[in-house]
């Protein structure tokens, strides 16, 4: 025998997670850096255990390598470099634009303290000029816009006017334009839906917290009053030229609505022909909700339960090097006054603004920021390799250190499935197996 695999530098990945498949002798192994999950026989698991003593030309090595189970490089250093590359990426410019910070709802768990206001024509000019500077300095070939608030549909005229200008700007720079919107759905009409379609809005997020009164407990009008019937009627009767994800904010009082709401969303999609799908997301604590003192019990009773597990399984991906857009220079939020932010959970908090659309120059981002520390602190939370707990955690490739605003202003929020690794792996295996089965069935139907 020639050299061993160990002598040539191969070793088992530090980012493998394992779980025995119930009722079998096989083991599911997920690699959280490469984003793979597959089942292995006892013989294969034995070979993995004995990796460093295997011949360097053993055929099993290539299969293990392709799935990331074995490596011949420093994975921690690689992930740190991956994070730096991701944060400096300039392939697209992303703007989260708030035409107003006002809202027609008063939801007890909302992280924003809403205020009346409307983006002025002068601020709209600043937004367009900033987008042009960002496209010019980045050389990006894509401009992504998210309409946010407050409730953005309180100002549909601003959305329409700014969209036209931003679409023309993207064309001028040879960039592709795309847009999404986060709205409560109450103000949707066919006229507004058609306008959003013309403005190239391809996706919307609308929240339902349950069926009927269960939804209305938390998703009610600012002056009081129900909203469920009107929102669902809009989803059922309007012809929506964009897809819609129906978000269910799950807390202790509405967990029993998971299955009924999922079924209702499916019914609405079938009745309307609109592209609707459901997803659940646990409510998280925030300062604004505590100060609102609504008395609502918003604690997620499951803690690390089925909702967290399903969300973690759904979000599984190959390592990207960052947690969210707040880590990228060319992703910014803009409030109705033109103030700039790195996180959309900050857009109602002027004290967290790092600059202004009129003044900030992405060619010289630090020195043209009004408050450079409020920009650099977000960028510097990426790849938290100076945090020993994060550096040594098997889940680092998936969470990249977690939510930066949580880390900066509250406390580090670890990925929920960290405390249920075996259930996580089994969930991943089931998800990927079902996806592969569907692909095979679709392939068979097309032949």
pLDDT, tens only, 95-140: 999 999 999 999 988 888 888 899 999 999 999 999 999 999 999 9
Report the SS3 class of residue 262.
helix
**Token representation of residue 223:** 């002056």
**How high is the pLDDT of residue 302?**
47
Q: Distance between CA atoms of 317 and 33, rounded to whole angstroms?
A: 8
Report the SS3 class of residue 246.
strand
Q: How many CB atoms lie within 10 A of CB 408?
A: 19
Q: What is the pLDDT of residues 21-57, one digit of tens each?
A: 999 999 999 999 999 999 999 999 999 999 999 999 9
User: How sure is the predictor about 291, in pLDDT bands with cuts at 50, 70 and 90?
Assistant: low
What angle do the packed helices 156-172 and 121-138 form, to 10 degrees?
30
User: How sure is the predictor about 68, in pLDDT bands with cuts at 50, 70 and 90?
Assistant: very high
Q: For strand 142-147 and strand 27-31, is the pairing parallel, antiparallel, or unpaired?
A: unpaired
Q: Distance between CA atoms of 390 and 383, rounded to whole angstroms?
A: 9
User: How sure is the predictor about 414, in pLDDT bands with cuts at 50, 70 and 90?
Assistant: confident
**How high is the pLDDT of residue 113?**
82
Q: What is the pLDDT of residues 252-268, one digit of tens each?
A: 888 899 999 999 999 99
Predicted confidence (pLDDT) at residue 297 exceeds the cutoff of 80: no
Average of per-residue pLDDT across 178-207: 98
Q: Which residues pair with 280 in a beta bridge?
A: 248
For residue 3, which of 56, 51, 48 has the smallest C-alpha distance?
A: 56
Q: Distance between CA atoms of 117 and 103, rounded to whole angstroms?
A: 10
Predicted confidence (pLDDT) at residue 325 exceeds the cutoff of 90: no
Report the SS3 class of residue 334.
strand
Task: Determine the distance from the C-alpha atom of residue 443 to the mean position of all C-alpha atoms in its chain, rounded to a whole number.
Answer: 30
Q: Distance between CA atoms of 254 and 212, rounded to whole angstroms?
A: 12
- The structure tokens 């709209």 sit at 124
Average of per-residue pLDDT across 391-401: 92
In this prediction the pTM is 0.89
**How high is the pLDDT of residue 304?**
41
**Token representation of residue 432:** 């990927």
Average of per-residue pLDDT across 280-295: 66
Report the SS3 class of residue 269.
helix
CA Rg value for the chain: 24
- Residues 317, 82: contact at Cβ < 8 Å? no
Domain extent listing, the chain: 1-73, 85-379
Predicted confidence (pLDDT) at residue 289 exceeds the cutoff of 80: no
Predicted confidence (pLDDT) at residue 301 exceeds the cutoff of 50: no
- Residues 396, 385: contact at Cβ < 8 Å? no
- Residues 321, 83: contact at Cβ < 8 Å? yes
**Token representation of residue 279:** 């997803």
Q: How far is CA 400 from CA 32, 207, 361, 381, in A?
A: 11, 27, 28, 9
DSSP string, 403-419: -HHHHHHS-----GGGG
Average of per-residue pLDDT across 362-382: 93
Q: What is the CATH number of domain 85-379?
A: 3.20.20.70
DSSP letter (8 states) at residue 315: T
Average of per-residue pLDDT across 278-306: 64
Q: For strand 142-147 and strand 93-97, is the pairing parallel, antiparallel, or unpaired?
A: parallel
User: How sure is the predictor about 90, in pLDDT bands with cuts at 50, 70 and 90?
Assistant: confident
């Amino acid at each position: 025998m020639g050299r061993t695999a160990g002598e040539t530098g191969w070793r088992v990945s530090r980012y493998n997670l394992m779980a025995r498949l119930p009722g079998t002798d096989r083991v599911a192994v997920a690699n959280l850096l490469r984003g793979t999950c597959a089942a292995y026989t006892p013989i294969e698991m034995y070979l993995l255990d004995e990796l460093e003593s295997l011949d360097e030309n053993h055929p099993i090595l290539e299969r293990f390598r392709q799935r990331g189970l074995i490596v011949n490089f420093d994975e921690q250093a690689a992930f740190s470099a991956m994070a730096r590359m991701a944060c400096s990426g300039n392939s697209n410019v992303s703007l989260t634009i708030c035409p107003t910070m006002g809202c027609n709802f008063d939801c007890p768990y909302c992280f924003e303290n809403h205020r009346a206001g409307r983006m002025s024509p002068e601020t709209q000019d600043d937004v367009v000029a900033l987008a042009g500077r960002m496209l010019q300095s980045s050389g990006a070939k894509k401009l992504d816009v998210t309409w946010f608030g407050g409730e953005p549909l309180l100002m549909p005229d601003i959305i329409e006017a700014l969209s036209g200008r931003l679409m023309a700007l993207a064309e001028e720079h040879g960039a592709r334009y795309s847009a999404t919107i986060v709205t409560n759905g109450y103000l949707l009409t066919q006229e507004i839906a058609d306008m959003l379609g013309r403005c190239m809005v391809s996706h919307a997020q609308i929240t339902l917290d349950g069926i009927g009164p269960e939804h209305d407990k938390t998703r009610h009008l600012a002056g009081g009053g129900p909203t469920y019937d009107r929102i669902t009627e809009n989803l059922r009767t309007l012809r929506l030229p964009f897809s819609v994800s129906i978000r269910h904010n799950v807390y202790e009082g509405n967990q029993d609505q998971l299955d009924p709401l999922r079924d209702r969303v499916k019914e609405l999609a079938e009745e309307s022909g609109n592209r609707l799908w459901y997803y659940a997301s646990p409510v998280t604590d925030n300062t604004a909700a505590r100060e609102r003192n609504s008395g609502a019990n918003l604690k997620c009773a499951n803690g690390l339960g089925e909702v967290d597990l399903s969300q973690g399984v759904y979000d599984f991906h190959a390592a990207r090097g960052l947690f969210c857009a707040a880590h990228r220079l060319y992703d910014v939020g803009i409030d109705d006054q033109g103030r700039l932010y790195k996180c959309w959970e900050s857009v109602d908090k002027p004290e967290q603004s790092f600059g202004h659309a009129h003044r900030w120059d992405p060619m010289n981002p630090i020195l043209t920021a009004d408050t450079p520390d409020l920009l650099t602190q977000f960028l510097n939370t990426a790849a938290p390799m100076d945090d020993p707990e994060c550096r040594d955690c098997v889940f680092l490739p998936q969470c990249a250190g977690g939510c930066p605003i949580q880390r900066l202003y509250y406390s580090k929020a670890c990925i929920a499935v960290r405390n249920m690794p075996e259930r996580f792996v089994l969930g991943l295996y089931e998800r990927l197996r079902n996806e592969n089965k569907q692909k095979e069935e679709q392939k068979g139907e097309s032949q």
